Structure 1
Amino acid sequence: MQKEYHIRPALETDGPILCAAEQRIAAIPGRLVSHPDELRVAAFAERIRLLDEIGCYLVAEKDGVIVGHAVLEPVGSRKALAHVFTLASMVVHPGSQGQGVGTALMQELMRWAQQRPHVERIELRVREQNTVARQLYEKFGFVLEGRFDKRVKLADGSYLVDLMMAWLASGTASASTQAST
């Protein structure tokens, strides 16, 4: 049973909560690429401020408590890539996993993207072993496009595989479709 969540744009004042949640998750090997000591509150506030105009930074709240956040941002400033966005972060906060937070955030991110004709492609990277996240992305139309072996190196010297997934807006032909026409 999916709970009701209030999804809203992130505020700069949310930075400390978002940073603390990511630091806790980053302490679990392989969950995030960042290490806990690499995450700074000021960077969260700056990213929220920047994306207010050019992207989408959302938080999910349950009973006034932030339980997750997600970031959709342009891949860069080049005109040839202006139609491409990246799901840079999708974080369900500790204690809130398996309760529909990710689904609620994805629904709102996709609604945001679909209301903007210039967003034609969304890319993301996800660890191969993160089957829950992969299934969520597939549910929203993301397809596997690539595999990056030995991309994420853990502190113990072992490696994780990153998978590249992408979503294309309806009406946007894939490269394989264009090549066959």
Structure 2
Amino acid sequence: MTKLIVCLTGMPGAGKSTIADGLKLKGYDVINMGNAVRNEAKKRNIEATRSNLGKLMLELREKNGPGAIAELIKPEIESSSANVILIDGVRSNDEIKVLRKFGIVKLLAVHASTDRRFNFLQKRGRTDDPQTKEHFEERDNRELGVGISNSIALSDYAITNIDLTKEQLIENAYKIIQSWLK
């Protein structure tokens, strides 16, 4: 059976990782693109700060092409025996091109307001999460610069995460993915 590769895309803090964590509990394999960059930083002995991870992500794309981060997760995809793999944090159409080599790719975009995203990121607690509006806007601009708006615009389906509970967000995503399996 051909793998279904579901790419979660959306601006930082929209709810992609919430969906991924919830669907992992339902048996889906989850691969996080940001973790691929964090792992690369660890290999290079680079501290996982907001600034360092941002620079590394841009450096990898500059050196290895715009699909570079997707190339980093190839071994995880190849070793997965799951029929459905969720890729958390796809940021560009070039990454999607790389992922198409491994199965049928569907894009699920997650939208949330700027305030909701900022508030969530402040509470999340990752080392690279912005703690000021200035850092938040800087990160948004970096994401937009690598083409995330294109992957959002070209998504197969979009969920608006405005008034949803965590459970509703996960359930909506689950129903959408299940419909893609039919």
TM-score (structure 1 length as normaliser): 0.35
Structure with a larger share of its residues in strand: 1
TM-score, scaled relative to structure 2: 0.35
Structure with greater proportional helix content: 2
